[in-house]
Amino acid sequence: MTTSTVRGPRNGVDTPTLFATLDAVKGTPELAKFQFRASNRWVSGTHNRSTIRGFYGAGAEDTSRTTDFTFDADHPAVLVGSNQGPTPVEFLLHAIAACLTAGLANIAAARGVTLTSVESTVEGDIDLLGILGLSSEVRNGYQGIRVHFTIAGDAPEDVLRGLIEQSRQRSAVYDVLTNGVPVDLTVTTA
């Protein structure tokens, strides 16, 4: 581990600020409590749209985002949708790739490794007999997800592989997808 070494910015990561943030949270652990949010509105059929913007963290409501992020989801034609966006389950594949990649860039910067390229592909196998209600023995969700990274940088192969492994060990999305999370669902009828 070299995370205690003084490092300059690298890989587009402001490494000094990253370490200063870590020190601030060490001193005030309450700063680490975050709440993220999304809201969603049904459009028509299987087409719906989420808006993401505000969150709580570091002791305050975030004010740094100046616009909403909006995302459409839909089912494809073969599932009687209208292709207005990816399926909800495909966003899970985006989330795991994005989380591992973001962590990797931070970890590489902290370890003094300059990355030249990071690409990944994610595949998820799902048997729709579950969600279609045609088999009680088939789960609703993915049966397995495979992530493959191709990484290049100015370090030996074992060091590059170590970056991915450390990112996996610190990934919020990897944790949620592999271990699950309690989901509470409530309803108001208007």
Binding a second copy (rule: CB under 8 A), the pick from 5, 94, 114, 154 is: 94
Distance CA 88, CA 48 (A): 10
Q: Does 113 engage in binding with a second copy (CB under 8 A)?
A: no
Q: How far is the CB of 17 from a second copy (least distance, A)?
A: 5
Q: Which helix (H) or strand (E) holds 177?
A: helix 172-179
Q: Does 136 engage in binding with a second copy (CB under 8 A)?
A: no
Count the Cβ atoms, other than its own, within 10 Å of residue 53.
14
Binding a second copy (rule: CB under 8 A), the pick from 2, 80, 136, 137 is: 80
String of DSSP letters for 150-166 = EEEESS-HHHHHHHHHH
Site string for a second copy, 23-42 (x = CB under 8 A): --xx--x--xxxxxxxxxxx
Q: Does 147 engage in binding with a second copy (CB under 8 A)?
A: yes
Q: How far is the CB of 24 from a second copy (least distance, A)?
A: 10
- 118 exposure class (CB count in 10 Å sphere: 0-12, 13-18, 19+): buried
Site for a second copy in 42-71 (CB under 8 A): 42-48, 50, 52, 55, 57-58, 62, 64-66, 69, 71
Of 105, 102, 110, 107, which Cα lies nearest the Cα of 15? 110
Q: How far is the CB of 12 from a second copy (least distance, A)?
A: 3
